[in-house]
Amino acid sequence: EDDTEGLSTRLSGTLSFTSHEDEEEEEGDGASEELEEPPQAPGAAAGTEDGGKCWGGEQGWGTGVTPGTLMRWWQWVSAAERPGGSLLTRQLQELWRRSRGSLAPQRLLFEVTSASVVNERSSKYVLYTIYLIRSGQFDKAPATIARRYSDFEQLNRRLRCRFSCDMASVAFPRKRLRRNFTAETIAKRSRAFEQFLSHLHSIDEIRRSPEFLEFFFLPDLQAAQRLTCTGMYREALATWANAYRLQDRLGVCNSGRFLLTLAGLAVCHQELDQLSEAHGCCEQALQLLETQGSHPLLGPFLQAHVHLAWKVGRDKRRSEARLQDLREAGLPLQQQPSLKEYLIKEPLE
């Protein structure tokens, strides 16, 4: 029995990415005439807890802004500028600068862009290609994954074991005994998987869970590691880069997996004689490791950065000083693996 027919209906009303304040604004018609306290700046109510990057400057407003909120903000600013208004221009500018740092996080969209039937010796299945898109932005190089029904089914099963209460309201398309490869079924499944991932991403605890996150980027990390170990650096570089974009979209750019991704990028760039790019990856990693003195990748990244900085003519004194601090702290740098050796030995499960 297939239940994808009613999936859109059951999920309608559950995927909300606006704040409670915005919902109240849409229900009410007018703004309060009292101006004792300024209304909240557009997008400030939503925060940045979902890990997405905030919009700011010339990029535009976040997704939580409604016309009612903007109208309230403008009415308040206009009232303050009238004779007797309580705020000076300088204070308004300062408040505006503060509000820009708390704009609403971008919504992450999941779009099935293609689905193809794959015939193997012992099996036949549909492979769905999904783009991860930040709303309101154009990505020159999209973050993509390719998954089959069994991959989604495994994710659903793992999340229901750990988050049984949260998953009670999440619908998942059931298996069918026949007609699995018709265009109609594939189209329904594509829409169902888009809504399934969007629903999961809207739940805070699930969105941050290793089960959900690694569904997206762990297969790419494993494939990139295999390609790097076998010396297929150009193919590995493309896979490491996609894993980088996936983690960036999901907002996990400060994890150990992300540091491993930067190590993979640095190694492949260096092997392909793209030394400036490799140097940039090392610099980004060292910024993330700025406050850590015992991370296993700190020594390898510092040594790689010193070597690459010398090659491309960049300043390497800070990295040399940090290496000296590690030596004085008793760290045996001679026994430290290189970035490439670390990649080969690091288990990815």
Look at strands 124-134 and 108-119 and give their pairing. antiparallel
User: Which of residues 139 and 283 earns the better pLDDT score?
Assistant: 283
Neighbours of 104 (CB within 10 A): 25
For residue 58, the 8-state DSSP code is T
Q: What is the pLDDT of residues 70-79, one digit of tens each?
A: 444 445 445 5
Residues 6+ apart with CB under 8 A from 112: 128, 129, 130, 190, 191, 193, 194
In 3-state terms, what secondary structure has residue 261? helix
Which is nearest to 190 in space by CA: 241, 249, 141, 147?
147
Instruction: Name which of 25-29, 144-148, 177-181 the model is least confident about.
Output: 25-29
Q: What is the pLDDT of residues 40-53, one digit of tens each?
A: 443 333 333 333 33
Q: What is the mean pLDDT of residues 205-217?
A: 96
Could you tell me the pLDDT band of residue 255, with boundaries at 50, 70 and 90?
Answer: confident
Average of per-residue pLDDT values in the chain: 78
Amino acid at 248: D
**For position 309, what pLDDT does the model report?**
97
Look at strands 108-119 and 143-148 and give their pairing. unpaired
Question: Looking at the predicted structure, is the pLDDT value of residue 107 above 50?
Answer: yes
**The pair of three-digit structure tokens given for residue 167, joined into one six-digit string:** 């998953």
Are the C-beta atoms of residues 11 and 203 closer than 8 Å to each other? no
Could you tell me the pLDDT band of residue 122, with boundaries at 50, 70 and 90?
Answer: confident
**For position 98, what pLDDT does the model report?**
56
Instruction: Name which of 76-80, 211-215, 315-319 the model is least confident about.
Output: 76-80
Nearest-angstrom CA–CA distance, 262 and 280: 9
Report pTM: 0.70
Are the C-beta atoms of residues 132 and 143 closer than 8 Å to each other? yes
Question: Angle 195-66-99 (CA atoms, 0-180°, nearest 5)?
Answer: 110
**The pair of three-digit structure tokens given for residue 86, joined into one six-digit string:** 């309580």
Q: What is the mean pLDDT of residues 315-332?
A: 91
The residues pairing with 117 across neighbouring beta strands, listed in sequence order, are: 126
Instruction: Name which of 45-59, 108-122, 179-193 the model is least confident about.
Output: 45-59
Could you tell me the pLDDT band of residue 83, with boundaries at 50, 70 and 90?
Answer: low
Could you tell me the pLDDT band of residue 329, with boundaries at 50, 70 and 90?
Answer: confident
Question: Looking at the predicted structure, is the pLDDT value of residue 64 above 60?
Answer: no
Domains in the chain, start-ordered, CATH in brackets? 1-12+105-208 (3.30.1520.10), 210-348 (1.25.40.10)
User: Which of residues 100 and 197 earns the better pLDDT score?
Assistant: 197
**The pair of three-digit structure tokens given for residue 153, joined into one six-digit string:** 């089914």
